Amino acid sequence: MSSTARIALNRPIRQLFDYTVPVELQLQPGQRVHVPFGRQKITGIVVETGSKPPAGITLKPVSYALEDWPALPAETFRLLSWASDYYQHPLGECLFTALPPALRRGQPAEEKPEICWRATSASPELPANAHKQKALLTLLQEHPEGLATSAITKSGYTQQQLKSLAGKGLAESLIRKPEPASHTADSDVTTGPTLSPAQENAAEQLVEGENGFNPCLLFGITGSGKTEIYLDYLKKNLARDKQALVLVPEINLTPQTVARFQRYFGARIAVWHSALNDRERLETWLKIRNGEPIILIGTRSAALLPFTQLSAIIVDEEHDSSYKQGDGFRYSARDVAVYRAHLNHCPIILGSATPSLESLNNAKQGKYKLVRLEERAKNAAPPSLSLLDIRSRPLEGGLSRPAISAIQQALNKGEQALVFVNRRGFAPVMMCFDCGHTVECPRCDTRLTYHRRDRAMRCHHCDYQTAATEACPECQSEAFKPVGQGTERTEDILGEAFPDTPVVRVDRDSTQRKGSIQAILKQVNKGEPCILVGTQMLAKGHDFPNVTLVVVVNADGGLFSVDFRAPEQLIQTLLQVSGRAGRGAKPGEVLIQTCHSDHPLLKALCRGNYLEITDQLLAERESGLLPPFRAMAILRAEGNTMEQSLQFLDSVKPMTQRPGIETWGPLPALIARRADRHRAQLIINSGTRKSLNHLLRQICHHLDLAATRGKVRWMIDVDPLETG
């Protein structure tokens, strides 16, 4: 009798599929196979072999194996199986997340040679106006060894222009095999600065108790030189034949970080982020899977890749919310990384100037070792923070007089200023001062944001947009004006107030084009006086030595939010953005505009003691029965009407009524209607992780069987970051 195998497919269903295995096939878990599914043939991943299928069913056979080794080796397979259960997400989709797109589609796990181009010896006869083609030809002539197609298109040329050169006999293609990774010899690698005594001290504590699972929380203030410590740690502790994973929140925003790693480790550095193309993903994935001794610097999904020689993990800015996936497989890359270090018996360093309450609590409980770095590298002093009460001050574009004159002073001294606005666009709303009308999104319960640059009104919660109007669409009044602050409006006001100084805006709109953030950083790092205006993007890890002043336009958004994480996130953002001031030789100053200058949280922030604040917040979480003292999950429902969604959750609620579990809701979500779906949620809180996990498993099982499909979409978010 032939054996059977249980296969996971890349489908959002909590079900595995049984197939028979032809005798000549030896299958093992994690291996890619081709299987018939309905009338299609699709790629699957072996989960189990020798399983006993239900009697009386005729199984179809596995067609063939895509390779004779498991694409997902044992440790990665265990990690993903654990994550599937922890986050209650279908195993198939979890497993496929660890494959590059080409392998998900069933393509072979090997690098295809890439087509290269070079100039021929023919003498160019191009029309005088063919500037682009001439430039391309010059580019090719500068690279007689040949240039890969991808490199050419990245430089701004099209396949069409290439073909047209080739058609004229001026360029020819050749096939080049991918070059084997060359590993930089030690002599090519520069050494960084000598560690300061404080850094040295921290570095020593990280190594103590080495070998085995050894989680450390490196709490180092902004500019304290944490990156230097990571580099030093890897240099001293990572064997030449081993792999390391360095997770960062966003790579494109901080190209400096990758450059610093490359200076130390040369070709051992590889990167993983969303801007890679399919070929680059496959190439890097193969290196990781083949156990090449690389150090991977990557964003969220890098935590799931099939390392086989992983022996150190670093999570930089561990508090950053971008580590949590917001839809689909809602995992936290930080938490997955910690579990992975545990599976691999390897050390993990979680670094931040503003550690999350979760990690601080783990440190308090002795699960993580707390390592502190309390002074800035290069003798820079921490910035001084002060509150600027704007209750009865006239504002221009959100900026008060004292803030404007502080900016003027910084510029006079030849320094740079950074203005932090928490919203992109021109203004959050357009309001009619005659009838009070504001423009709402027709598909969501939100107002549209006014973007003046392209005269559009946009919804930041769905993709709706419409043209902006001059007059009130309701009463035709001309008194239809922007209210509140967005980055564009602040940029305008600053441009008027400081006509001779460059004003540089950094937000999702201004950095959409590839390479634009690099250009912006380059300009700022020239060090000449300028004003940076931007959103959270500016708070992340940048090292601008000549920024000495930070102005926070309005700090009050997070003070009275219903989301229990809002105060933590507000403090972290304010400290991170403050940390951009005074990183060089000159001291930094931070002005925080607020209408609540007596708010205890803001006052504590100015005293500069992060742990004092987090102790307070932790105490509030504990008495409020909130994470990290309870394990939380949210069951979300999206129906065609609110009634449908609430009814659905009401029908689940009785399952949750058991000792040790509290439920809140069901209640409409904060934005109750989004893209025309009516959203409600049931918050489930448990005293133990285990009982929460057990309950969620039962709920999923129950709902998978229930015939509610199609009417109400539901999803589970474990350890949710947003509870609104």
Q: Tell me which residues touch ligand ADP (CB under 6 A).
A: 193-196, 199, 220, 222-228, 377-378, 543
Strands 503-506 vs 531-534: parallel, antiparallel or unpaired: parallel
Of the pair 87, 219, the CB lying nearest ligand ADP is at 219
Residue among 480, 476, 471, 468 at smallest CA distance from 425: 468
Of the pair 446, 573, the CB lying nearest Zn ion is at 446
Residue 462 binding partner per list ligand ADP, Zn ion, none, with a CB distance cut-off of 5 to 8 Å that depends on partner kind: Zn ion
Cβ 229 to ligand ADP, closest distance in Å? Answer: 7
Residue 460 binding partner per list ligand ADP, Zn ion, none, with a CB distance cut-off of 5 to 8 Å that depends on partner kind: none
Query: Interface with Zn ion includes 457 (CB under 5 A)?
Result: no
Query: Interface with Zn ion includes 37 (CB under 5 A)?
Result: no
Amino acid at 166: A
> Looking up tokens 């007059």, which residue turns up?
471
Residue 652 binding partner per list ligand ADP, Zn ion, none, with a CB distance cut-off of 5 to 8 Å that depends on partner kind: none
Q: 629: part of which helix (H) or strand (E)?
A: none
Query: Interface with Zn ion includes 439 (CB under 5 A)?
Result: no
Dig out the tokens for 549 from the structure.
């002043």
Residue 437 binding partner per list Zn ion, ligand ADP, none, with a CB distance cut-off of 5 to 8 Å that depends on partner kind: Zn ion
Cβ 541 to ligand ADP, closest distance in Å? Answer: 7
Which residue, judged by CB position, is nearest to ligand ADP in the bound state? 225
Query: Interface with Zn ion includes 441 (CB under 5 A)?
Result: yes
Residue 293 binding partner per list Zn ion, ligand ADP, none, with a CB distance cut-off of 5 to 8 Å that depends on partner kind: none
For residues 314 and 306, what is the distance between their CA atoms, to the nearest angstrom?
Answer: 17
Binding to Zn ion (CB under 5 A): which residues in 496-525?
none
582: left (phi over 0), alpha (psi -120 to 50) or beta: left
Cβ 444 to Zn ion, closest distance in Å? Answer: 3
Dig out the tokens for 292 from the structure.
């090449």
For residues 421 and 418, what is the distance between their CA atoms, to the nearest angstrom?
Answer: 10
Sheet with 547-552, edge to edge strand ranges: 384-389, 589-594, 547-552, 416-420, 531-534, 503-506
Q: Which stretch binds Zn ion (CB under 5 A): 77-85, 322-330, 359-367, 438-446?
A: 438-446
Cβ 441 to Zn ion, closest distance in Å? Answer: 3
Query: Interface with Zn ion includes 253 (CB under 5 A)?
Result: no
Cβ 275 to ligand ADP, closest distance in Å? Answer: 22
Answer whether 32's CB lies under 8 Å from 71's CB. yes
Query: Interface with Zn ion includes 444 (CB under 5 A)?
Result: yes
Q: Which stretch binds Zn ion (CB under 5 A): 468-476, 501-509, 597-605, 614-622?
A: 468-476
Cβ 197 to ligand ADP, closest distance in Å? Answer: 10
For residues 499 and 481, what is the distance between their CA atoms, to the nearest angstrom?
Answer: 24
Residue 378 binding partner per list Zn ion, ligand ADP, none, with a CB distance cut-off of 5 to 8 Å that depends on partner kind: ligand ADP
For residues 626 and 632, what is the distance between their CA atoms, to the nearest angstrom?
Answer: 8
From candidates 122, 381, 471, 475, binder to Zn ion by CB under 5 A: 475
Query: Interface with Zn ion includes 429 (CB under 5 A)?
Result: no
Q: For 549-599, where are the alpha helices, taking DSSP H only?
A: 566-578
Cβ 384 to ligand ADP, closest distance in Å? Answer: 18
Residue 459 binding partner per list ligand ADP, Zn ion, none, with a CB distance cut-off of 5 to 8 Å that depends on partner kind: Zn ion
For residues 576 and 318, what is the distance between their CA atoms, to the nearest angstrom?
Answer: 13
For residues 40 and 60, what is the distance between their CA atoms, to the nearest angstrom?
Answer: 13
Q: Which stretch binds Zn ion (CB under 5 A): 296-304, 310-318, 440-448, 563-571?
A: 440-448
Strand ranges, E, within 159-309: 171-176, 214-220, 243-247, 269-272, 295-298
From candidates 472, 520, 695, 699, binder to Zn ion by CB under 5 A: 472
Q: Which stretch binds Zn ion (CB under 5 A): 16-24, 247-255, 370-378, 476-484?
A: 476-484
Residue among 81, 79, 94, 85 at smallest CA distance from 11: 94
Burial group, residue 92, by CB count within 10 angstroms (0-12, 13-18, 19+) = buried
Cβ 484 to Zn ion, closest distance in Å? Answer: 18
Residue 377 binding partner per list Zn ion, ligand ADP, none, with a CB distance cut-off of 5 to 8 Å that depends on partner kind: ligand ADP
Residue 338 binding partner per list ligand ADP, Zn ion, none, with a CB distance cut-off of 5 to 8 Å that depends on partner kind: none
DSSP output for 307-367: -SSEEEEEEETTT-GGGB--SSS--BHHHHHHHHHHHHT-EEEEEESS--HHHHHHHHTTS
The residue ranges that bind Zn ion (CB under 5 A) are: 432, 434-435, 437, 441, 443-444, 459, 461-462, 464, 472, 474-475, 477
